[in-house]
Amino acid sequence: MASNTDRDGLAEAAADNGIVRSSFSTYASELNQQMLAWRDRVGHIVDVLPSKEQIAGGFRGRIDRHSVGDFAFTDTVTDAMTLERSVARVSTDDRRSYAFHIFAQGKIATEMGMQKKRSAADSTEGLIVFDMDQPFRVERSACHMLTMFVPREVVEAAFPGADSIHGRVVERGAPLTQLVVNHALALSRDLPKMGAAQAAHELDAGAQLLLAAFRKQASLTGDARAAVQAAVMSQVRRYVEANLNEPDLSPSSVVEALQLKR
């Protein structure tokens, strides 16, 4: 495995087990270089629109990325910022996946053409999806965001006319939202320790779980039902493993702690 770290806090490694990992942060840069470093890092995908204050006063951001096959997962913590994927950017970039943003903390406001959507004022956890083949503009508060990039064919298999979900928001409290957040947080913690086969399985399960949440189905079938069952069982397994030495560990305590139906 080869890796390096430069003055801007970039470390990249191409793993020989089929997972490509990279990490980047602005923390080691001079204050007046932090925003520019971040803009350079993500500029091949989305344009960062910095304020004068951010350029002069600094910008704190870090991102960890894991790629397996056609799937990618990122864990990002940043200060507030404005992002734009313009028509020009879409036309020059060949990325055509769907980006599912999972907000562990933070708020978002988006614009797609003449349409503007905002998260609820008190929402600190929620989901939003962007079709990378369409333009958008995003205003983000300081946030902790987990993003899954799902291949276009996977999304289109679940949604006829999949491009219509561009910019769709699933608010905190909606069915499956907390399960999605928990699964994404577990991925963030465990992906660095996984091999390629397990990582591919967990990312696919996460994608199906996200698609189920956005379909807002009253009764889930097929891949969506299987994804929910797999996510629940993974959550139960992690809780049991973490509490094996607790004398009061029982099926009832697991159900209560994870707020699951028996």
Residue 217 above 90 pLDDT?
A: no
User: What is the tens place of the pLDDT at every residue in 68-105?
Assistant: 999 999 999 999 999 999 988 898 888 899 999 999 88
Average pLDDT over residues 118-137: 74
Rounded Cα distance, 146 and 127, in Å: 10
User: What is the tens place of the pLDDT at every residue in 171-210?
Assistant: 888 778 888 988 999 999 999 989 999 999 999 999 999 9
Average pLDDT over residues 21-40: 95
Q: What is the pLDDT of residue 235?
A: 66
Of 107-111, 220-224, 247-251, the range with the lowest mean pLDDT is 220-224
Residue 226 above 70 pLDDT?
A: no
Q: What is the pLDDT of residue 156?
A: 92
